Structure 1
Amino acid sequence: MPEQKESPETGRDRLLATLRTPSRAQAIVGVLLAVLGFSAVVQVNNNEQDNTYAGLREADLIEILDALTGTAERARREVDRLEGTRDQLQSESTSRQAALTAAQERVTTLNIIAGLVPVTGPGIRVRIEEETGAATLVSLLDLVQELRTADAEAMEFNDTHRLAAQSSFDTVVGGIELDGELLEPPYVIDVIGDPHALSSAMTFGDGPIEQLNRDGASVQVTELESLDIESVRDPVRPVNAEPDPGQ
């Protein structure tokens, strides 16, 4: 039986064989082509998104622009409103704190003037010794008045008696009374204020020192950088005075 010759392999047969069993190089090329195709699809989608407004009419674009401008304007007004509210709250808080600080300072000042709290500060110490005569009530009152005129902020007699605006003096057997309490010589007066001004209020011609000298008393004035006044007065409630409801 004669041998049959094999038909020659055609190009189609080779292509089919290649597709059935691709080589390593062909597989790599296929993957690269797939990636390239995916990138092209993504780029097309992006271009479509970027061209969202490309097909709109001019009137439509103007309307969209007006809407965006209005939104930005409303946002700006809201920011201004919130900033105004913030500034108002800060201003009210500052004013409230300033009022509280002023009120506290006023209370502190009134407590010092009324002699209700201990105080410390620069000032002078006046020592009055009775030698050939007794210090008169008039001389002591004049001394106190001159010290007050020189802006004395606090005064204390004999380390125990605090002087206040409503204090009163009286002459009694054995000395002088201050608010009903007996003061015995020597009189030592601690005064808080400007030391130079207080000393000057004692030493001018025919002033407190010369008057006390004529009474037969010697006077020694010492300026101090700091002295303490520890004595305090009991607060006194007003009996007849009441707050005015109209104030």
Structure 2
Amino acid sequence: MAEGKAPDTSKAWARVKHALTGRPSRGQWVVAALFLVLGFAAVTQVRATNDDDFAGMRRDELVTLLETLDSADERLTQQRAELAETQRRLQQSSERNQAAIDETRRAADTLAILAGTAPAVGQGVVITIEDPDETVLAGPMLNAIEELRDAGAEAIQVNGVVRVVAQSYVTDDANGAVRIDGREIKRPFVIEAIGDSHTLDQAVMFRGGLADQVEALGGEVDVEQVKSLEVTALAEEREAEYAQPAR
């Protein structure tokens, strides 16, 4: 079978070259002009739309729109005012709550000190009772505690190991041992009390008071006023057996 001839493409390439390099025809100029006009119109339309979105609205529509915007602005202003007032009330309520919490905490701390379940620090006195003949028993010790309480002592401990509270009791035995809340207290007795140091000093040293009683028994009392005294002994927490909160 004979081999076919390759197609002649020289004429086709010649026509393409003429179209690219030759002088444009009238039809080509018309098409180009139409493209330019359409492009300019499109750009102008986009710019007009972006520059003025409301150009096509009627006067009454614009008035309605402005009134709507004014109304919305008034509502936002009112809402801001209401939120500010709510914030103010919440802040006041929070401050009152915090004040109540602080007051409750202070009251709880005070009750814990008076109940002997928390340590305490403050000015006060250190009372040392020397009793070489072991004649100072429960009576004088109880009187000392009562006189200190009457003088405003807020926290009392004896020998650094026993916290004296409202329920505390003082006893002695046939061997001359003194016990507070059942715990034996060794001599010399050292009573530490927090309160107004001058007033507590006077409560011990007044005529006929603790100092005179101890001296009459052959003992000796020394009182030292201190600016800072720590009471660290703690009493056991006790639940009321009979008393209940009144409602």
* Cα distance per residue 1:131-152 (max 9 Å; x no partner): 5672253332222122112221
State the distance in 2 between where 1:242 and 1:94 align: 33
State the distance in 2 between where 1:224 and 1:95 align: 38
State the distance in 1 between where 2:242 and 2:154 align: 28
State the distance in 1 between where 2:217 and 2:164 align: 23
Amino acid at match of 1:235: E
Calculate the TM-score normalised by the size of structure 1.
0.67
Q: 1:113: which partner in 2? A: 114
Q: Report if aligned partners of 2:137, 2:177 keep a CA contact under 8 Å in 1.
A: no
State the distance in 2 between where 1:150 and 1:77 align: 62
State the distance in 2 between where 1:65 and 1:142 align: 90
Q: Identity across aligned pairs (percent)?
A: 30
State the distance in 1 between where 2:171 and 2:215 align: 20
Greater alpha carbon shift after TM alignment, 121-130 vs 70-79: 70-79
Q: Report if aligned partners of 2:170, 2:181 keep a CA contact under 8 Å in 1.
A: yes
Once superposed, what is the RMSD of the aligned Cα atoms?
Answer: 3.6
Secondary structure of the residue aligned to 2:122 is strand
State the distance in 1 between where 2:95 and 2:192 align: 39
In the TM superposition, residue 111 of structure 1 has moved relative to its aligned partner by 1.6
User: Quick check: 1:176 aligned with 2:186?
Assistant: no
Q: Report if aligned partners of 2:116, 2:234 keep a CA contact under 8 Å in 1.
A: yes
State the distance in 1 between where 2:86 and 2:181 align: 56
Amino acid at match of 2:144: L
In the TM superposition, residue 243 of structure 1 has moved relative to its aligned partner by 4.4
Q: 1:209: which partner in 2? A: 211
State the distance in 2 between where 1:125 and 1:178 align: 18
Quick one: structure 1 residues 166 and 145, their matched pair in 2 at CA, closer, same or farther if it must change by over 3 Å? Answer: same
Q: 2:163: which partner in 1? A: 162
State the distance in 1 between where 2:96 and 2:80 align: 24
Q: 2:147: which partner in 1? A: 146
* Cα distance per residue 1:54-84 (max 9 Å; x no partner): x959xx9997776555444322221121012
Greater alpha carbon shift after TM alignment, 63-72 vs 182-191: 63-72
In the TM superposition, residue 89 of structure 1 has moved relative to its aligned partner by 1.9
* Cα distance per residue 1:194-227 (max 9 Å; x no partner): 3222212222232222232223321001112223
Q: 1:89: which partner in 2? A: 90
State the distance in 2 between where 1:77 and 1:243 align: 50
In the TM superposition, residue 90 of structure 1 has moved relative to its aligned partner by 1.5
After superposition, where does 1:234-245 map in structure 2 within 5 Å?
A: 234-243=236-245
In the TM superposition, residue 233 of structure 1 has moved relative to its aligned partner by 1.7
* Cα distance per residue 1:139-176 (max 9 Å; x no partner): 32222122112221211112211111110112322132
Secondary structure of the residue aligned to 2:200 is helix
Secondary structure of the residue aligned to 1:211 is helix
Calculate the TM-score normalised by the size of structure 2.
0.67
Secondary structure of the residue aligned to 2:224 is strand
Q: Report if aligned partners of 2:169, 2:181 keep a CA contact under 8 Å in 1.
A: yes
Q: Report if aligned partners of 1:118, 1:232 keep a CA contact under 8 Å in 2.
A: yes
Q: Report if aligned partners of 1:131, 1:217 keep a CA contact under 8 Å in 2.
A: yes
Q: How many residues were matched structurally?
A: 209
